[in-house]
Amino acid sequence: MQSVIKQEILALNGDEAVALAVKQSDVDVVAAYPITPQTIMVERFSEYVANGEVETEFVCTESEHSALTACLTASVTGARAFTASASAGLALMHEILFVTSGCRAPVVMAIANRALSAPLNIHCDHSDTMAQRDSGWIQIYVENAQEAYDSVIQAFKIAENPKVLLPVIVGLDGFTLSHTLENVKVLPDNIVRKFIGTRQLPFVMTHEGKRALFKLDPENSMSMGPIALQNYYFEFKRQQEEAMKNALEVIPQVNEEYAQISGRHYGDGLLEPYHLEDAEIATVCLGSTAGTVKTVVDELRSEGVKAGLLRLRTFRPLPVEGIIRYLQKVKAVGIMDRSMSFGGHGGPAFHEIRHTLYDIQNRPYIVNYIYGLGGRDTSPSQIHRIYENLQKIVRTDHVEHLINYVGLRE
Amino acid sequence: MFSEWKFTAKEIAEKPDLFLSGHRACAGCAPATVLRLIMKAVRGPTIVTNATGCMEVVSSIYPYTSWAVPWIHTAFENAAANASGIESALKILKKKGKIKHEHVDVIALAGDGGTYDIGIQALSGAVERGHDFLYVLYDNEAYMNTGIQRSGGTPFGASTTTSPAGTVIPGKLQNKKPIADIMVAHEIPYVATASPFYWRDLITKARKGIEVDGPAFLHVFAPCPRGWRSDPAKSIELSRLAVETCIFPLWEAINGEYQLSTPSKVLALAPQKKKPVREYLKLQGRFRHLFTPKFEKLTEEIQRITDERWQRLLRKCGMT
Ligand SMILES: Cc1ncc(C[n+]2csc(CCOP(=O)(O)OP(=O)(O)O)c2C)c(N)n1
Ligand code: SF4
Ligand SMILES: [Mg+2]
């Protein structure tokens, strides 16, 4: 059992916290392109490079498409690679997101979550990362700058685990987290490095029947990213699903190991329950809103209301078992979505959680609250109203509106 | 700047292939010949990356591969970005003592679609950043992999499936983009054009591109019998005629200084040896409509464009 390391407290915004975590993680290649509200990450990192504080090749590309491409090929050449983006930048990467996960390149990417155009909007919602749900990336949503720092460090260890070997997105809410100063406890450089370790490369069998490190290596003529047709493609994809399953085990392990050195853990790394033991009504949310919801839950608890919160930290892979375990006794659950699925049946988190709970006996009422698009503020009083609404559903045994919009002019 | 590498035909023939036979290219596919020749120029540990396109598809059908070097394909428009990432990784891993090779060369391969059109942004960015790699454009003058659609590299008058010769429109109405000149304008240390008929010149230029520090761009003419509707036995002849008609002159620009390569220099010194473009055009079905009464005048137009471009090149080479 390791003891918690003494840590320095720095005033950092979320972007700076990410940049610092990257600096400490002994990253070999950073390739990135600036976009609000991620820009500070790239700028800070450029300063580290300019001041000789990092041993990193910094590639300031001409687009996000090339930034992710360069990270992908750097990664399969054996380097630890990082990029960062948001909104339109992530959308521009879309094609390469699939290629990165398909090539099993453990790239880590921070996303300062931001709305998608049109209309143009630079503020927070989760449309950008939700639109990449099926791209084969692990997705972690953080609640504060501290968690952004911690999660980027953890992300490398998760991504590079040979049982996982998948890229990871760490999403932090644009402006709310990216640009807001917080006290962040930071670990010493050497501790971070030791925690992540050096880049692990698994052995694979080459087409020549040779045992070789899984990388582009002049020692072996390995072909990567080939064309695989009807006869093989499907198996490649099935393996990615298996890797996601493995991530469900690896993420909690990393969360636990990290807790031992830092004293901080985020639930089990997948889900963070808040007063759910005896909760009758609960919400589920992702990202910084959880902070506000927790305050509201505290207030409700002090009034004797059995309210709770489940923070979905890891959206991909979806922690199905945990969601069921935490929510099966609850009577009414409000799923808070900070993005929309136009023409669908509610927001993406709603789809998935409602579907997850479908098979349990006595499943709770499950309703959707879509909120905060384009950075619209979500106040404690609005969250109070969500809980009141859930109470009413329990009391009346009746759902008036399955899909609700919070704080919207209609 | 360059080594004094010399080779005999025998040595080249005996040098083990790094682009192996068994790939699925059509009979008479010049791009495949070009890759084989380029890979003869390799000087040591090398990583190759390939844009989506015919050469990627024919060489990597899983679980087979034609590549005897580490090779990666990721997408269509990003061959130069692939190279950027590989080169950056090699540089820092070397610095950190994590790879043992003293140096690893990086070669990016892409077709005309992956270069003139969708890939030009990544290419321009990568060379502006100064990554040390050789970019090879194998130019078969259309999107062949998807079924012969026009590209910015398709010449004026060529019939493709998206610039078909109709009763009114005589094939592609725009000129071929001067891609190699565009690369020279990036002020990179080495740009050259090559053609597989002049295989020695091609291999030498590929080697120079590999040797040079910083980005190098090699534009290789590569007839595609399938897309050009030409006889598969005539691909190499066409790659000779393209040079002899000055449709595709051979030159190098070393640090921006243009100079003609011997096969074209001969024509500059003895212009009477220059062949009319019709000799080149008539061997290809994609220009068949230009030999009908309705569009016949256009071969003169092609001759005019060719001459104009040739004169411009001669001026750049200080040969007028
Ligand atoms: C983003 C994207 N758009 C379109 C395609 C379809 N596509 C694949 S290869 C190709 C054409 C390739 O043409 P070129 O680069 O000239 O290579 P060639 O096949 O002629 O060798 C196209 C359009 C693609 N793979 N990716
Ligand atoms: S279509 Fe053309 S470029 Fe493609 S393999 Fe056939 S001959 Fe080669
Ligand atoms: Mg082509």
Q: What is the pLDDT of residues A94-119, one digit of tens each?
A: 999 999 999 999 999 999 999 999 99
Query: If you average pLDDT over every residue of chain A, what do you get?
Result: 97
H helix or E strand, kind and range, residue A274: strand A271-274
- State the pairing for strand pair A81-85/A281-285: unpaired
In which band, very low, low, confident or very high, does the pLDDT at A410 lie, cut at 50, 70 and 90? confident
Residue B1 lies in a domain: no
A222 near B CB under 8 A: yes
Residue B3 lies in a domain: no
**E strands present in chain B:** 46-50, 71-73, 105-110, 134-139, 190-194, 216-221, 251-254, 257-260
> Which residues are registered as beta bridge partners of A11?
A183
Which residue blocks in A79-228 are alpha helix, DSSP H? 87-102, 127-130, 145-160, 189-196
**Do the domains A271-405 and A8-201+237-262 match in fold?**
yes
Q: Residue B79: which of A137, A104, A96 has the closest Cα?
A: A96
H helix or E strand, kind and range, residue A110: strand A108-113
Contacts of B100 (CB under 8 A, 6+ apart): none
Ligand 1 pocket test, pick from B24, B57, B76, B220 with the greatest ligand atom count within 8 Å of Cβ, gives B76
Q: What is the pLDDT of residue B260?
A: 98
pTM over 0.90: yes
Protein residues placing their CB within 5 Å of the ion ligand 3: B 111-112, 140, 144
- Residue A194 φ/ψ, nearest 5 degrees: -65, -40
B170 to chain A nearest CA, in Å?
36
Q: Is the separation of the CB atoms in A334 and A386 below 8 Å? A: yes
Q: What is the pLDDT of residues B75-93, one digit of tens each?
A: 999 999 999 999 999 999 9
Q: How far is CA B219 from CA A242, B110, B207, B222, B255, in A?
A: 43, 10, 13, 9, 16
- Sign of the alpha-carbon dihedral angle for A84, A87, A90, A92: negative
Ligand 1: nearest atom to the Cα of B144: 20
Q: Residue B68: which of A152, A208, A347, A75 has the closest Cα?
A: A208
- Residue B95 φ/ψ, nearest 5 degrees: -60, -35
In which band, very low, low, confident or very high, does the pLDDT at A207 lie, cut at 50, 70 and 90? confident
- A282-315: string of b/e by CB count within 10 Å (b at 16+)? bbbbbbbbbebbbebbeebeeeebbbbbbbbbbb
Q: What is the pLDDT of residues A246-282, one digit of tens each?
A: 999 999 999 999 999 999 999 999 999 999 999 999 9
Please tell me what DSSP assigns to residue B286.
G
Check CB contact under 8 Å for B85 and A59. yes
Q: Is the separation of the CB atoms in B113 and B140 below 8 Å? A: no
In which band, very low, low, confident or very high, does the pLDDT at A1 lie, cut at 50, 70 and 90? low
User: How is domain A271-405 classified at the CATH fold level?
Assistant: Rossmann fold (3.40.50)
Smallest CA separation from ligand 2 atom 8, residue: B29
Q: Is the separation of the CB atoms in A213 and A231 below 8 Å? A: no
Q: Which CATH architecture has domain A8-201+237-262?
A: 3-Layer(aba) Sandwich (3.40)
> Taking phi first (over 0 means left), then psi (-120 to 50 degrees means alpha), and beta for anything else, what does residue B60 get?
alpha
Please tell me what DSSP assigns to residue B165.
B
In which band, very low, low, confident or very high, does the pLDDT at A365 lie, cut at 50, 70 and 90? very high
Count of domains forming chain B: 1
- Tell me the three-class secondary structure of A136-166, residue by residue: CCEEEECCCHHHHHHHHHHHHHHHHCCCCCC
Check CB contact under 8 Å for B60 and A57. no
* Domain assignment of residue B75, given as a range: 9-316
Q: Is the separation of the CB atoms in A111 and A172 below 8 Å? A: yes
Check CB contact under 8 Å for B75 and A69. yes
Q: How far is CA A266 from CA A22, A151, A252, in A?
A: 20, 9, 9
Q: Tell me the C-alpha distance between B196 and B84, whole Å.
A: 27
The residues spanned by each domain of chain A are 8-201+237-262, 271-405
B chain contacts of residue A229, beta-carbon cutoff 8 Å: 61-62
Ligand 2: nearest atom to the Cα of B235: 7
What averages of pLDDT result for each successive group of 10 residues across chain B (320 residues)?
94 97 97 98 98 98 97 98 98 96 98 98 98 98 98 98 98 98 98 98 98 98 98 98 98 98 98 98 98 97 98 96
Please tell me what DSSP assigns to residue B114.
I
A212 to chain B nearest CA, in Å?
12
Ligand whose nearest atom lies closest to the CA of B34: 2
In which band, very low, low, confident or very high, does the pLDDT at A2 lie, cut at 50, 70 and 90? low
Q: Is the separation of the CB atoms in B80 and B136 below 8 Å? A: no
Smallest CA separation from ligand 2 atom 3, residue: B224
Centre of ligand 3 from the C-alpha of residue B75, in Å: 15
Two structure tokens written together for A105: 């390149």
Q: Tell me the C-alpha distance between A216 and B153, whole Å.
A: 31
Q: Is the separation of the CB atoms in A202 and A163 below 8 Å? A: no
If you count them, how many residues does chain A have?
410
Smallest CA separation from ligand 2 atom 7, residue: B29
The CATH number of residue B208's host domain is 3.40.50.970
Q: Tell me the C-alpha distance between A128 and A86, whole Å.
A: 7
Q: What is the pLDDT of residues A121-170, one digit of tens each?
A: 999 999 999 999 999 999 999 999 999 999 999 999 999 999 999 999 99
What's the mean pLDDT in A36-40? 98
- State the pairing for strand pair A138-141/A314-316: antiparallel
Q: Please state whether the peptide bond connecting residue B63 to the residue before it is cis, i.e. omega within 30 degrees of 0.
A: yes
Smallest CA separation from ligand 2 atom 4, residue: B54
Q: Tell me the C-alpha distance between B253 and A338, whole Å.
A: 55
Residue B217 lies in a domain: yes
Other CB atoms within a 10 A radius of the CB of residue B94 amount to: 15
B118 near A CB under 8 A: no
